[in-house]
Chains A and B, each alone.
Chain A
Amino acid sequence: MDLYPLYNALRIAAISCVIVFFLGIFFAHWVAKLPRALKGILDVVLTLPLVLPPTVVGYFLLVLFGPNRAFGAWMMSTFHLRLTMVWYSAIFASVVVAFPLMYRTARGAFESFDPTLRASAQTLGLSNSYIFWRIQMPYCRQGILAGTVLAFARALGEYGATSMIAGYTPGRTATISTTVYQLWRTNNDALAFKWVLINVAISFVVLMAVNLLEKRERREAR
């Protein structure tokens, strides 16, 4: 059994997860400071990928990154970098689809942060970056960790947008989800079942981790 889809899916999910971690925290932190009207609109835009069909996300990504489109063509001519139908194309899809999960959980965690802690730290002369990384982030770490794990799980399971922008090339762009579909399509039921089991096992572990984190957070809140 060729394990390339597992390796590829894990590296795509891991890289996406790191990107989404910082993007989600940055936007959660930034949006909270905006005026109310702008905040409402931006919040909807940033959450949209959560409810859009993945194929719609894939369509948008192809419009942006396709080799015959402005940005895709420019990347091709300037950096000789192909953005579609290569293994890292799936990262674009995973990042967009997993981003809202990180963004929303991080925002929820930041909103629970007691503002008097920030105020008191400021009057003690502590810098704003110290306050963010050493007080606010530890305070919100359970929520942020839960968001990260969820984003990882979602990135691992991404199918729709990935199949549109990265396609399925065995040994190159194949991930677990696209492999399962391909095997099913070609009547290779037994192997498809193995991959399904692998995927279920990973997702099970991930969700267990989220639940444990949330339970610990509730206990600490008491």
Chain B
Amino acid sequence: MSVKVDIEKRLGDFHLNINFEAADVVHGLLGASGCGKSMTLRCIAGVVAPDRGRIEVNGRVLFDSEKHIHLTPQQRKVGLLFQNYALFPNMTVEGNLLAALRGQQRETAQKKVAEMIRRFHLEGLERHCPSQLSGGQQQRAALARILLTEPEILMLDEPLSALDSYLRWQTELELMDLLDRFSGTTLLVTHSREEVRRLCDTVTVLDAGTGRGAMPVQALFDAPETLSACLLSGCKNYSRAEKIGPDRIRVSDWGAELRCGEVPAGLQYAAIRAHHIESAEGPGENVIPCRVQRVIEDVFSTILMAETAGGTPLRVELEKADFRQTEAGQTLYLRLPIERIMLLK
């Protein structure tokens, strides 16, 4: 069971260009809003036509611009959960589910619907209209409706963003159960790296319409390859970088030279996570002298904004236990451990 996508689509100034493969996993499409994540799902579902490219699901070609294959959404057998759930407002919950089984025998359809209603905890709501349901109930009804069509892949468009934070955690747990039980490939669109980390196995990072390849979620957080992937993974510190030796770089925004791992070709940036920076006793290798700008007390850690010689401050997160009393204005030596420096294209 696999999904292969390689498509391009122009829409005014916006240019979507994405390729990735995913098989039997929960695959995340991660990106800021307006970067083409939803558009990608719509292209796969067939409600939007890409300009060029190829889409394949389980070996079945859904779209191929060169061979002029363009299946209708009805022929594609893919399930797409829309951000607003798109339940039909003129039908009851039961009617919505029965609509998905149109063409099947009434009795079998009703049996399947009853089973789905039980599985998604919608008992007692069969005769309700979608507008009478809470956000979480609407989502469950929409998911039940999609699964009744037995789709080959499941696509979820920001499934948690429309819910308030109280409901979100509960819904996310339910979603995890569902994803565990769904045997096919799932594509999950989100702007939240936390959701990717918790729900996905692999991920494609989309930056202003461009997304190249899939990577394991772990790799996104441990060793992102591009600056946009690095920023989306939650890293706050980055500087322009240039190679000055086989394992040495100059980071001009921090006004320092650093020793690091082997410098890759096409290096443009170096980055380091706030909680990977250590405080040092004095000058040394990979130690940057800084002036403390601000001290921010967080719940479990202390955050320092430290001004560097290059002008760009470093954000440093220190465990409260490791932390000696520091005040704004004080000079501080910060060590950037060699193995923690991320070299980015």
Give Cα A134 to B83, complex, Å: 22
Q: Say yes or no for B133: interface residue by CB 8 A criterion.
A: no
Q: Say yes or no for A186: interface residue by CB 8 A criterion.
A: no
**Could you say which of A102-110, A118-126, A207-215 contacts chain B?**
A118-126
B82 touches A122 (CB 8 A): no
User: Which residues of B have CB within 8 Å of A32?
Assistant: none
B47 touches A123 (CB 8 A): yes
B90 touches A123 (CB 8 A): no
What interface size band does chain B fall in?
20 to 34
A155 to chain B, nearest CB (A): 29
A119 touches B90 (CB 8 A): no
User: Which residues of A have CB within 8 Å of B102?
Assistant: 125-126, 130
User: Which residues of A have CB within 8 Å of B3?
Assistant: none
A123 touches B89 (CB 8 A): no
Give residues of chain B (76-100) contacting chain A, Cβ–Cβ below 8 Å.
Answer: 76-80, 82-84, 86, 88-90, 99-100
Give residues of chain A (89-140) contacting chain B, Cβ–Cβ below 8 Å.
Answer: 114, 116-127, 130, 134-135, 138-139
B146 touches A119 (CB 8 A): no
A117 touches B45 (CB 8 A): no
For B99, give its contact among A119, A124, A139 (CB under 8 Å): A124
A52 to chain B, nearest CB (A): 37
A123 touches B76 (CB 8 A): yes
Give Cα A124 to B100, complex, Å: 6
Give Cα A138 to B90, complex, Å: 7
Number of interface residues of A (CB under 8 A): 18
User: Which residues of B have CB within 8 Å of A130?
Assistant: 102
Q: Which single residue of chain B is at the shortest CB-CB distance from A118?
A: B47
A70 to chain B, nearest CB (A): 44
A124 to chain B, nearest CB (A): 5
For A116, give its contact among B46, B72, B82 (CB under 8 Å): B82
Residues A119 and B74 in contact in the complex (CB < 8 Å), given A114-B86, A126-B102, A130-B102: no
A119 to chain B, nearest CB (A): 4
B84 touches A123 (CB 8 A): no
Taken residue by residue from 85 to 123, chain B's Cβ proximity to chain A (1 for < 8 Å, 0 otherwise) reads as 010111000000001101000000000000000000000
User: Which residues of A have CB within 8 Å of B286?
Assistant: none
Give Cα A216 to B86, complex, Å: 22
Give residues of chain B (7-42) contacting chain A, Cβ–Cβ below 8 Å.
Answer: 42
A35 to chain B, nearest CB (A): 15
User: Which residues of A have CB within 8 Å of B250?
Assistant: none
B90 touches A120 (CB 8 A): no
User: Which residues of B have CB within 8 Å of A134?
Assistant: 99
A119 touches B88 (CB 8 A): no
Q: Say yes or no for B73: interface residue by CB 8 A criterion.
A: yes
A120 touches B72 (CB 8 A): no
- Which residues of A approach B to under 8 Å, CB–CB? 114, 116-127, 130, 134-135, 138-139
- 20 inter-chain pairs at a CB distance below 8 angstroms, sorted by A residue, are A114-B84, A114-B86, A116-B82, A116-B83, A117-B86, A119-B73, A119-B80, A119-B86, A122-B45, A122-B47, A122-B73, A123-B46, A123-B79, A124-B100, A124-B149, A125-B74, A125-B149, A126-B102, A127-B74, A139-B90
